[in-house]
A and B are shown apart, each in its own frame.
Chain A
Amino acid sequence: MATSATVVGSKKPDTITVAYEHPWVVRGAHWLNAVAVFVLITSGLRIFRAFPSFGPKIPQRNFWVPPPGITLGGWLAGALQWHFTFMWIFAGSGLMYVVYQIVTGHWRQVLFMPRDIKGVWPMARHYFLFGKKPVVEAAYNPLQKLAYTSTIFFGAMSFLTGLVLYKPAQFWWLAWPMGGFHFARIWHFVAMCGFVAFIPGHLIMVLLHGWNNFYSMMTGWKRDPEYLN
């Protein structure tokens, strides 16, 4: 028991302090999105394999041919089936999360703002260079805010560039600010790279913080939250 009797004299010794960190909408959106991102990246790489280039068809210069082992769908049509199915789950869960954060005002805790910039480096130094941990008074530290906000950014980018690639004739005006149809494909790939960069860091942090932290994304309740110690 982290919340010991010395902190709260009245606390009964057989009780546990729990905090409801993640409402079910957030947890549901998180897990749906996790599955969708996995499917969209792997099937997307299989789609990219059909024309692994950002240039013209003639002459074709391959950029990078994804190995089949990291792809989903078996062939182009199979990959497109996965992609065109899970894009709805991805967009739906993303929208669900964003709308919920706006309506509840929770976005204030997690949205990366200019004032968070100065706190990023001390936190990164702590995590990656074993510097001392900066004092964090907010629910999320600046590096967390940056990471989580970047997923929303890359998610929106994937969605909009994907829309242009999927329906270029209907949404040609949306391609214009992206630099045109060809750039939409590049940005779509870049957004995928953003997720690929986020995921390992996220998973390492989850591993480092242990079961209690992970379990809170299942139940919403975190046992003995560190900020109440």
Chain B
Amino acid sequence: MADEQQPAEDLPEPAQPKEIAPESEIKGPPQSLVADSETPNAEEPKQEAPAAYSSARSGPAGEEVRDVTSRERGRINRRELLKLVPLIAIGAFAIPQLQEPLLMDGLGFSDWASGKLFGRHRLAQTFSDNDVVPFRRFPYNYYDVVDPEVDLDRWTLTVEGLVKRPGDYKLQQIQALSKVVQNTRHVCVEGWDVIGNFGGTRASDFLRWLGADLTARYLEVECADQYYESIDMATVLHPQTLFCYEMYGKPLDRGHGAPLRLQMPIKLGYKQAKYLDTIRVTNVLKGGKRGYWEDQGYDWYGGL
């Protein structure tokens, strides 16, 4: 606490400038600040001052105050500017050749962090039937194929990769496994979302039934409309991840990906491939084939 109301008699000649010995760089602090130091000896601050700077003292907010020569000021300014030099590195984002790799690193880091944040047993929110939007207000979203015209009667799902029982499976075989119905939020990367009613087989049930290697890293899917996706195995095994064949209690319609699509309330919409044709359990993703949108710049993890 700066005691500026100190009685005058406590101070030696407060109104007078201190008599400071004429030592080259060192000079006395302002009288008001000497008063703060509560020392009647005017020579003490002079002795404590470092040789390079004259009498370091404090400003009203406790900041260091110095009286320096022009050369000293240049030197301390340069030293402080140097501490900020590493920040220039951020300018690399403005260099066209570096921009894309850097942003890909940023996206990769976000995906890595997303994987770490993901709780294997943490469920996405589920909703009551009252919160579900009417079917007619559930958007149809396409990329460029409106309807691949899948022959629903002859359709089979081809299963490949690290499974004990690869082959072609009929829809009835998938439906024979226990059915899960859930009201969950479908979130589009564009920013809209919709709560819908989805029914299907748990992906984890189906993969176990197939004898899949559940320690494998990915599930790749290929679609009748040439869309393709790859999903991390932790997400595939999540209890809310479905091979979905029903919406609103009715078989999936052609606009929503009949006869079978992915439905994962813990992933963005573009991960939820429609018109499934082939699934593959694998440890290696083919280069440049991580997902239709991902290969164009969207993030691969796409987790919610």
Q: Give chain A's interface residues, CB within 8 Å of chain B.
A: 3, 7-12, 14-21, 24, 27-28, 31-32, 35, 39, 47-48, 50-51, 53, 56-58, 60, 75-78, 80-82, 84-89, 106, 109, 137-139, 167-170, 172, 181-182, 185, 215, 218-221, 223, 225, 227-228
The answer to whether the Cβ of B66 comes within 8 Å of any Cβ in the partner chain is yes
Determine whether the beta carbon of B59 is less than 8 Å from that of A80: no
List of B residues within 8 angstroms of A138 by Cβ: 60-61
Partner of B107, one of A14, A31, A84, A170: A84
Determine whether the beta carbon of B265 is less than 8 Å from that of A169: yes
List of B residues within 8 angstroms of A182 by Cβ: 193
The answer to whether the Cβ of B65 comes within 8 Å of any Cβ in the partner chain is yes
With A15-B54, A51-B191 known, 7 other A-B pairs at CB within 8 A are A8-B29, A11-B28, A16-B68, A76-B190, A81-B107, A106-B61, A169-B125
With contact pairs A12-B27, A218-B84 given, residues A18 and B63 touching in the complex (Cβ less than 8 Å): no
Determine whether the beta carbon of A170 is less than 8 Å from that of B66: no
Determine whether the beta carbon of B80 is less than 8 Å from that of A81: no
Q: Interface 1/0s, chain B 5-30, versus A by CB < 8 A?
A: 00000000000011010000001111
The answer to whether the Cβ of B119 comes within 8 Å of any Cβ in the partner chain is yes
Determine whether the beta carbon of B298 is less than 8 Å from that of A80: yes
The answer to whether the Cβ of B250 comes within 8 Å of any Cβ in the partner chain is no
List of A residues within 8 angstroms of B87 by Cβ: 28, 31-32
With contact pairs A10-B20, A24-B84 given, residues A167 and B64 touching in the complex (Cβ less than 8 Å): no
> 6 nearest interchain CB pairs?
A85-B106, A9-B17, A139-B61, A51-B191, A77-B297, A169-B124
Partner of A57, one of B102, B117, B185, B192: B192
The answer to whether the Cβ of B303 comes within 8 Å of any Cβ in the partner chain is yes
Alpha-carbon distance A8/B66, docked complex (angstroms): 13
List of A residues within 8 angstroms of B69 by Cβ: 14-16
List of B residues within 8 angstroms of A17 by Cβ: 65-67
Determine whether the beta carbon of A88 is less than 8 Å from that of B106: yes
Determine whether the beta carbon of A221 is less than 8 Å from that of B190: no
